[in-house]
Amino acid sequence: MNSKTLANAAPQLIFGGFVIVLGFLFLLDNMGLIDAGNFFDYWPAIFIMIGLVRIIQAESGAGRFVGFIFALVGFVWILDNIDAFYFSIGRLWPLLLVLIGLAIILKSLTHEPGEKSFHGPDSQPDLLRNPVPPPPPIPRTREDEVVKGVAVLGAFKRIVGSQNFKAASLTAFMGGCEIDLRDAAIADSPAVVDVFAMWGGVELKVPDSWVVELRGMPILGGFEDKTRPPRDRSQVLIVKGMVIFGGVEIRN
């Protein structure tokens, strides 16, 4: 199994492995060999599964870092539930802010080939002549082959017109990302959009000629494809990633 196939099958493999391990654990408990405790003590394993899927599917250091944190939190939480040691998860909620900040920093420092930074119309110092500058328009780029967007308690909007669109990495935490690809084209199919949305949403607008393939993992959220697939499959867009208490919508 190559790495691409493994990444696509990661959610099923990890969930299946978790069920097998849990079954053996309670089988040994019923045989009196170990004390597995209460079944519901292991519910934080959801975080471990989320973390492992994210580590396998992520294509950046920031994505793998987020996955590691999810897995670590789930593992420690289970140990606390089965009284392996005492750990108050409630006292460490400020650590979530630290981790979000680190993830944003890592994501901004990780540049993909072909990615270009955008500087809006207000990037030039002109505050003396215009004390209150008007709000900038949505950035429109025709060179970006790789797009990265992060929305934390806010919104990220981008219009992309590249004729060689390759990939996008979008993160929405209590915010939203909106990418308009209707003027773009895929020269080397497929293009891949990797999303991570937690209490947030991602909206993609694609051309009528694109075929959309969903390979995401929703947890109390959803991936929704509202496009009408064309007969020509020369331009394929793969949308993958993870959604927790959020949603991803693709439409044309």
Scanning the structure block, which residue is given the tokens 């599964």? 49
More confidently predicted of 200 and 85: 200
Average pLDDT for residues 156-169, to the nearest whole number? 89
8 A C-beta contact, residue 240 and residue 193: yes
In the chain the beta strands, taken as DSSP E runs, fall at: 140-141, 146-152, 155-160, 167-173, 176-180, 191-198, 201-205, 211-219, 222-225, 236-244, 247-251
Give the pLDDT of residue 245. Answer: 83
CA distance 199 to 21: 30
* Number of alpha carbons in the 13 Å side-chain half-sphere of residue 232: 8
Q: Which of 186, 182, 183 is nearest to 204 (CA)?
A: 182
Average pLDDT for residues 227-246, to the nearest whole number? 85
More confidently predicted of 175 and 119: 175
Q: H-helix or E-strand containing 142? A: none
Average pLDDT for residues 142-146, to the nearest whole number? 68
Q: Which of 237, 236, 166, 241 is nearest to 201 (CA)?
A: 241
Give the pLDDT of residue 103. Answer: 65
Show me where the domains of the chain are located. Answer: 3-109, 140-251
**C-alpha distances in Å from residue 184, one per residue of 50, 181, 188, 235:** 32, 5, 12, 11
CA distance 146 to 113: 7
Q: What is the pLDDT of residues 9-21, one digit of tens each?
A: 566 677 777 778 8
Per-residue pLDDT band at 114 (split at 50, 70, 90) = very low
Output the average pLDDT for the chain: 75
Give the pLDDT of residue 62. Answer: 66
Q: Flag whether the pTM goes above 0.75.
A: no
More confidently predicted of 65 and 61: 65
Average pLDDT for residues 27-41, to the nearest whole number? 75
